[in-house]
Structures are given as C-alpha cells and as structure tokens.
Structure 1
Amino acid sequence: MTSQSAEQSSSTNTWRNRIIGIVAVIVALVVAYFILASFIPRWWAQRIATMSGHGSFAKGIWSGLGLGFFCTVIPLFLLMGVVTVWRRRGGRFLAGCAAVLALVLALPNLMTLTIVWGGSSAAHAGERVLDVQAPGFRGASLIGAIVAAVLFLLALFLRMRGRWRTRHAGRHRKDSSAPPPPAQPADMERNG
C-alpha cells in the first residue's frame, strides 16, 4: 500500500509540475505578445523606411517586391524540403532546422502583416510611416509574395506530375515485363 501511495503521489506531483510549467509558458507568451505587438510594427516600419530611402517611391516598390518575393519563396521551398526529408534517417532533425529557418526567413513578411492587418496604435503608426517614407512598399510586397506563391505552386505541380509519371511508367514496365497469361483451352482450339 505504501509503494502505491508513493507512486500516486509522485505521479500527481509530476502532473502538477507539468501543468504549472504549461501555464507559466502560456503567460510568458501572452506577455511577450503584448510587448512585441506594441514594438514590432513601429520598429519594422522604420527599418523599411530606412531601406526604402525615406520617401523614394521606386526604392519602396523594389524593396517591397524583393522582400515579398524572397521571404515567401525561400520559406516555401524549405518547407517542401522538410516534407521530403522527414522520414529519412536523421531527417527529423534536418526538418526541424529547416522549419525554424523557414520561419526566420518569413519574419519580414510576418512583420509587414502585423502592420497591415494590425488594429493596434502601433500598427496604425507603422502604416503612417510606410505611407510617407516607403510608398508602394506594402502593395509591392503583396505582389512579390503572390508571384512567389504562384512559382512555388508551379514547381510543386511539376514535381508531383514527375512523380506520377515515374510511378505510372514503373507500373507500365512491370505490366509489360510480366509473362503473358497461359493460353486457355478455347484459344488453343482456335489456333490449332
């Protein structure tokens, strides 16, 4: 009886500690979200304004196209690589690293989305900064992301079609290399 109560107490303590840990992580994430939500949109808009030459329409468009395209296409292809290496030996580690890298490379687009879709005062301040000091950036960033997504979908389609053709050709070779079925007695009478 004593060993059962000790095991039960140990199990209860373990679960209690897990629950406390999960709640602490959730609270920390919520606090971090509110801090970053008031900081990131303003900071990112100022970085974009600096990159875009403080009011240059052409630089705003080119920087938007570049960030929108590259910060979409590279993470998407990395994620496609994650899917292909997941089941290989050591693939889970590589897949995890590639997924983290994809998230890091997508951060510029995600930070731009905090400005565009955000409803906070920081997001509105970021919109004003982009309107004045980086005109054309938001629209060009969207166009770059759309072009990258279309290119990725085209590459994915070609890859899937190639796999389908390979499988189909393998089945066809297997069917053609199989010996013909034995002649039926009715067939022998017709031929003979």
Structure 2
Amino acid sequence: MSDNPSTAAPDDKRQGGLPSWAVKTIALAVVAVLAVIAYFVLAALLPRWWSQKIGSAVDQSITTGSLYGIAFGVVCTLVSLLLLVLAWRARRWGQTRYWALAFVVLAVVASIPNLLTLTVVVGRGSGAHAGERILDVEAPGFRGGTLVGVIIAAVIFVVGALLRIRLRHRRSAPTTTATTTERPA
C-alpha cells in the first residue's frame, strides 16, 4: 500500500467528496427536471409553430391542404416503417445494436411531421388548440389528408410485406416436376 494520499483515493468518492452514486442520482434528477421543462415548453410552442408553417405553405386552399396532407402522410409513414424494418433486419443480421438503434432514431425523425400533426389533433394544451384553429383557417384539409396518407402508406406496407412473404415462400418451396414412371416390359 502506498503512503501517498493522492494515489490512495477510495473508489466510491469523487473529488468533491460525494459518493459516485450520489453524483449519478443528482445528475439524473437534473436531467429529469430539464426534460419536464422542455416538454412543457415544446408542448406550448411546437403545435403552434407547425400549424403556422403548414398554413403558410397551403395558403387556405383545401386542395393544396389535402394534397400536402396526403404527401406528408404517405412519405413519412412509409419511410418510418421501412426504417423500422431495416432496424429489425440489422438486429437479425448479427450487426451491432448501434445500427438497429440508428435506424430506429431515423424512423422517429422521419415520423416527426406526422407526430407534430398528431399533437395538434389530440393535444389538450393551448398550443394544440391554437394549432387546430390555425389549421382550420390556413390549411383546410391537411389533417384529413394526413390521415388518408397514413392509411394509404399502411396499406402499401402491408401489401408489400405480404407479397414479400408469398414470394419468399414460393422460392423456398421445393419444385415438383412431373416424372414419368417407366413400366417394365
């Protein structure tokens, strides 16, 4: 054992004298408080901001609003579902978990426009209510178009998955060929 006090520091204490578990607990508490504050700030601002962006793009046209909604619904949902499939396959390929996690994160990012629209539709805060009013006036048809787009994307995904399963089943099935039996003479 060394008599030097700088090298004989206990494992459970840090420089400030607090045990490492206490430092971790304090850090987690700070992160939790910041996450709650961020949630309330974003819940008030994001629905309103998203509605204003969509409203300025649509400019009170029900046709444009419906088409934008369908486009956002189809593209964001289909891309998210395909990225989730890639995450599942990356896990099955024996790749590192980081690839699967990266695909899941990308799927969440791709679904952000649909999630923002969903927060406007089902949100209960003042930001969601303001966003609803903005979409009603500035972007009519967008919410309904988004729902139609999500349904279309889900149907495309399910049909594609069923066709893929059927094709894989057809490829793996043994081929039967008609053999002629010869009769002895």
Letter of the 2:55 partner, please give it: A
- Structure 1 position 155, deviation (Å): 1.9
In structure 2, distance between residues paired with 1:74 and 1:109: 12
In structure 2, distance between residues paired with 1:89 and 1:13: 39
Aligned length: 163
In structure 1, distance between residues paired with 2:39 and 2:83: 26
Q: Does 1:17 align with 2:47?
A: no
| Structure 2 equivalent of residue 66 of structure 1 | 71
Q: Does 1:29 align with 2:2?
A: no
Aligned-pair identity in percent equals 42
| Structure 2 equivalent of residue 115 of structure 1 | 120
- Structure 1 position 124, deviation (Å): 0.8
- Structure 1 position 159, deviation (Å): 2.9
Structure 1: 5+ residue stretches without partners: 1-5, 174-192
With normalisation by structure 1, the TM-score equals 0.77
Letter of the 1:20 partner, please give it: I
Q: How does 1:35-50 map to 2 (within 5 A)?
A: 35-50=41-56
In structure 2, distance between residues paired with 1:16 and 1:49: 49
Q: How does 1:11-160 map to 2 (within 5 A)?
A: 13-52=19-58, 54-88=59-93, 90-160=95-165
With normalisation by structure 2, the TM-score equals 0.79
- Structure 1 position 136, deviation (Å): 0.6
In structure 2, distance between residues paired with 1:70 and 1:16: 46
Pairwise CA RMSD: 2.2
Cα distance, 1:26–1:165 mapped onto 2, change above 3 Å: farther
Greater fraction helix: 1
Please give the secondary structure, in 2, of the residue aligned with 1:55: coil
Please give the secondary structure, in 1, of the residue aligned with 2:60: coil
Q: Could you give the per-residue CA deviations for residues 36-90 of structure 1, whole angstroms, max 9, x where no partner exists?
A: 00100110000001111x2111110100000011111101011101101124354
Task: Report which stretch shifted further, 152-161 or 61-70.
Answer: 152-161
In structure 1, distance between residues paired with 2:171 and 2:63: 46
Letter of the 1:130 partner, please give it: L
Task: Report which stretch shifted further, 79-88 or 104-113.
Answer: 79-88
In structure 2, distance between residues paired with 1:154 and 1:128: 36
Letter of the 2:159 partner, please give it: L
In structure 1, distance between residues paired with 2:126 and 2:44: 8
Task: Report which stretch shifted further, 123-132 or 22-31.
Answer: 22-31
